[in-house]
Structures are given as C-alpha cells and as structure tokens.
Chain A
C-alpha cells in the first residue's frame, strides 16, 4: 500500500469519526455560563477604568506640582510674569456605558430584584434556589434564561455564585450530604479555603433538561469554611408566582 493510499484510508477514517464527533453536544447550560462569564468580565472591565483614572489623577498631581515648582523657580530667576502655559484639560472618557446582552445577560441588579427576575425568566426549573445569607453590601449579577440561571453576589472581598448546571470542579472533591442528597465539596487550596470553595449537587426536582433533578453548584471566594457553610445552609427554594 502506498503512502497516498494509506493517507486516503486515514482521511476516510477521520471523516467518519468527524461525523460522530460532530454530534457531540455541550452541556445544555453552556450558553448561560458563557453569559455569566461575560457578565463577570464586563464588570471587571468597568472597574479597570476607575484604576486608570486614579493613576491619571496621581500623574496629574505630580505634573501639576512639578509645573508649579518650575514656574515658581522661573518667576524667581526672571523676575517677570511668565505667560500662562496652562492648556485645556482633556476629558478622558474611558468609562463606557455598561454593555449588556439581552435577554441572557441582564447584568447588575439589586439583590432584592433577584427573586423576581428568576421567577419571570426561569420557567422550566423547579425548585429555584437562592442564597438568603447575602453578603452585606453585595451587588447582584443575574444571568437567566428559561432553562437555567446564575446569580452572583459580589463585594470587594467576597464572591458568591449559585448556578444551575455542572461546574468544572478540580479533581478530588469530598463527598458529603447536603440538602438530603450526595454533594461534592472542594476547596481550591484546602490550606487557604478563602481562595475558593465549591459545592455541587443534584437538587431533587425537574427542569426541561432533566426530570431526575436539577444540577446546582455553589462557588464562594473570600470566605472561611465556616462562612461558606453558613452561605450553603442559607440556600432556600423560592416560591413561584
């Protein structure tokens, strides 16, 4: 058999495999999770200009002080009024209007609005769970469609995410009972659980995607194990209107 024939066979084999491979589907909630990731990134992007503005302000203060010092020195040596060199300040409009994708990325809402949004948008999932021990002063970010949702509460130091769907957990989680079912707990760094803690479980219930239960996961950053447990234990089903 020549190399060309061998490659021909291999190409046919690849094409056959491609047909099967291209039937593979991502998790049904992937789109929701893409939206959640975009929402988080958008928020990070909105924070960045604030830092830039602070740096620009600091640079401006240094420049101003330098100009004043130079001017004072110039006046002292020349003994005459120097012409004003003050230029017009350029406004830096680095802060853009927050961009949101509608309808899957509603973006930031107040924590009190979350329940209403979920009741309206998530029509196929029962039960709808919600964290009731919301960190003080947190902003809420909701991503929702009919088949799933992600709610994130964020402060400067703490991040709490509750989401339907299966999380990408690092390998080696610890099985434990939670809400009457088997759950998996995982800390990114067991020596420093505040770096990230995860809990995933299948809540008895149903959705359009599954009648055997609703996969949920909780992800928390910036909390001790005790605080994490407190948040996990505060999760409650919300009523449907």
Chain B
C-alpha cells in the first residue's frame, strides 16, 4: 500500500514500534552492535526517503527487514572486498559482541555466526521473529514452499555446525 508523500505523520510511530526488532534483526545478521545500529539508522532513513514505503505495519515491517537485509549483504560484500585488498587475507569473523554473549548459548551463537547470511536470516525470522512461512516468504521474496526449504536447509547446516561428528559420519557414509 503506497502512501502520499505529503503526510508522514505515521512514520515516527513506526520507528517506535520497530526500532528494537529492527535492531535485533540487524544484530543477528551482523553480530556486531555498532554495525547493527548503523544499519538500522540507514534502513529507517531509506524508508523515509522512499516514495512508496507502506504506511501499514505489515508492509512497513516487510520493507524494513528487506532493507536491513540488503544493507547487511552490502556490508558483508564490502568487508570481503576490503579483506581481499588487504594482502588477500580472508575476512576474520566478527568478534563476539558483548551483547551476543549476554544472550547466552555461545555455542549456538558461534554456529549461527558460521552460517551464511541467508541461512541466518531464515532462522532468525522463523524462530526469533516467529514469522509464519507465508510471512517469511514475503520478506525473503520467495514462494512459501521455497521459504520452507530454505529454513530446513539452514536448520540442517546449523545442526551440522553444532555437531561436527554428524558431518563426518554423513560424509563417510
């Protein structure tokens, strides 16, 4: 649902409503508090500037999360390029942020950290945001069936990261 540009009185309540969820989503994608807050600021600014930002909550959230995803992906690519320029050393994993440690289950965090952005995104939306597959599909911009497959594959990868011996067994089998 598009809105008219003249009236943006609805925008500020949206910030209040989604600021924290946007932060946590960005945090899951970047695993870095500063970077997450930077992405969130940028994402809201982009939605403010965009002509067709939906003014209803469901649509707004979808746009917001998509924007954060794109920004996180750009950041990830930029960091890979930067690390390649610096003596071709692969980008180090982000150090575990204090805030991540506070959330507990460090093994799970480390395993999540080792997943690709897309897999982390799928798991977060499904289990942390508790999105239905239909909603998840809209945010991921895929069909519902594909969203299910993405989540299941991400879960499988996560399970393998948490239990490397299972990996070996499967490879040997």
Contact = CB atoms under 8 A, between A and B. Distances in A.
Interface stretch (A25-33, A128-136, A230-238): A25-33
Interface residues of B, number: 43
A104 interface: yes
Contacts of B28: 21
A20 interface: yes
Contacts of B48: 38, 41-42, 99
Nearest to A165: B37
Contacts of A15: 127
Contact of B108 (A13, A33, A102): A13
Interface in A30-56: 30-31, 33-38, 40-42, 45
A34 B159 contact: no
A76 interface: no
Interface in A134-187: 166, 168-169
In the complex, which of the residues A36, A41, A96, A166 has the most CB atoms of chain B within 10 Å of its own CB atom?
A: A41
Contacts of A6: 159
Contact size range, A = 35 or more
B49 A41 contact: yes
Given A7-B159, A10-B158, A17-B103, A30 B38 contact: no
Contacts of B20: 25-26
A34 B24 contact: no
A11 B19 contact: no
B104 A11 contact: no
Contact of B37 (A33, A42, A169): A33
Contacts of B46: 41
B8 A10 contact: no
Given A17-B108, A24-B24, A30-B23, A11 B155 contact: yes
19 contacts: A7-B159, A13-B105, A15-B127, A18-B128, A21-B24, A21-B103, A24-B23, A24-B102, A26-B19, A27-B33, A30-B23, A34-B40, A34-B44, A37-B42, A38-B45, A41-B46, A42-B48, A96-B5, A168-B37
Interface of A: 6-7, 10-11, 13-18, 20-27, 30-31, 33-38, 40-42, 45, 96-97, 99, 101-102, 104, 166, 168-169
Given A7-B159, A26-B19, A31-B19, 5 more contacts: A15-B127, A17-B104, A23-B103, A36-B41, A99-B8
